[in-house]
Structure 1
């Protein structure tokens, strides 16, 4: 059997600790038989030969910039069968100025509603809210989330704009609150998959900090997502 090749691309905003966050998952990839290459920039996306032999891209790059050549290389690789996955801002809040990237991923971070204004102290925890990650009916039978029960988190709750080509495996609902401008609860995808050409994409929105990534259900979803997104034999 040919060894699978995983490419881990990390960088961008340091608040999401891209090095420490990705290091959590490198042993899992290696234990599952992947040869792992780690890159500290998106330059590699423009390397056609390298992308063609990559079976899985794990990206952790919040905000930042990407060139047209790089995003075209990533998109072309996914269309040809390379899997693409990541968590939180490292995939859902990357390259805000690139319409091509947003089209590839199918969903984009919009905000994370925070505490009541009078409770805010000018720190990261101002944006932490208790919320539920609820597995959908589709998610209950999907390989990425099957057997995962609904679970609670106290961290950033992503509000995501998305299109209808995503298959939503889990959601989270933003309630109506007196100090916010919306007038009815808003449900956002928290975990989704996307078929793009011959490739598979998995996005997991929880993952702001290392403790969230180490949460048993979050980690299970991310790790299963890596396996499921990896290039299949039919895409080779």
Structure 2
């Protein structure tokens, strides 16, 4: 059996520690038989020859910019069967100006509500809230999340705008508070998959910091998601 090929693309906003975060998962990929290539920009997305040989792309690029040629190359690779996955802002807060990228991923970070205004001190902890990630019925049966229980985190809780072509494996609910402008609780997808052409996409919204990525449930979801998204024989 040919060795599987994984591309790790990292960069963008340094607050999400793209190098350190992706280094957590490279040994997992290598231990499962992947040849891993690491790139520090999205330029490779525009190289059709290089992209055609990939079975999996792991992206950790928060914000930043992408050219139309690069996003077209990424889209073409996924349509042809290459898996695409990532976590937190590295996949759902990437390339805010690209409608084509948003269409590919199916969801976009909108905000992460913070603590009560009088309790804010000006640091990232102002956006750290206790919240629960709840598996859906689909999630309880899906290979990525089967056997896991609902779990609690204290970190950024992503509010996501999304379409209905995603298959939601887990959700999280934003409550309403006296200082909020919304008037009823809002439920956002926290983990989802998306079939796109012959390819599979997996998005995990927790992952702001290394400690969250090392949380047992979060790490399990990301690692299983990499395996599940990888090009299948039928897409070869």
Give the whole-Å Cα distance in 2 for the aligned partners of 1:25 and 1:126.
Answer: 28
* Aligned twin of 1:122: 122
After TM superposition, the structure 1 = structure 2 runs for residues 50-199 of structure 1, keeping only pairs within 5 Å, are 50-199=50-199
Q: CA RMSD in A?
A: 0.3
Structure 1 unmatched runs, 5+: none
Task: Measure the CA separation in 2 of the matches of 1:178 and 1:144.
Answer: 37
TM-score where L is the length of structure 2: 1.00
Q: Secondary structure at the match of 1:182?
A: coil
Q: Give the superposition deviation at 1:73.
A: 0.1
Measured after TM superposition, the shift of residue 85 of structure 1 is 0.0
Deviation sequence 1:5-52 (CA, Å, 0-9, x none): 000000000000000000000000000000000000000000101110
SS in 1 for 2:181: coil
Query: How far did residue 172 of structure 1 move?
Result: 0.3
The Cα of 1:200 is off from its aligned counterpart by 0.1
1:6 matched residue in structure 2:
6
TM-superposed deviation, 1:112: 0.1
- Scaled by the length of structure 1, what TM-score is found? 1.00
What is the CA deviation profile of residues 179-200 of structure 1, one whole-angstrom value per residue up to 9, with x for unaligned ones? 0001110000000000000000
- Name the SS for the 1:139 alignment partner: helix
In structure 2, how many angstroms separate the alpha carbons of the residues matched to 1:189 and 1:103?
Answer: 16
Deviations 1:149-185 (A, max 9, x none): 0000000000000000000000000001010001110
Cα separation, 2, equivalents of 1:49 and 1:171:
37
Distance in 2, Cα, partners of 1:18 & 1:162: 24
CA drift of 1:97 comes to: 0.1
Distance 1:81 1:227 in 2: 13
The aligned length equals 236
Distance in 1, matches of 2:175 and 2:40, equals 38
Deviation at 1:70, TM superposition (A): 0.2
Q: State the alpha-carbon separation in 2 of the partners of residues 102 and 65 from structure 1.
A: 13
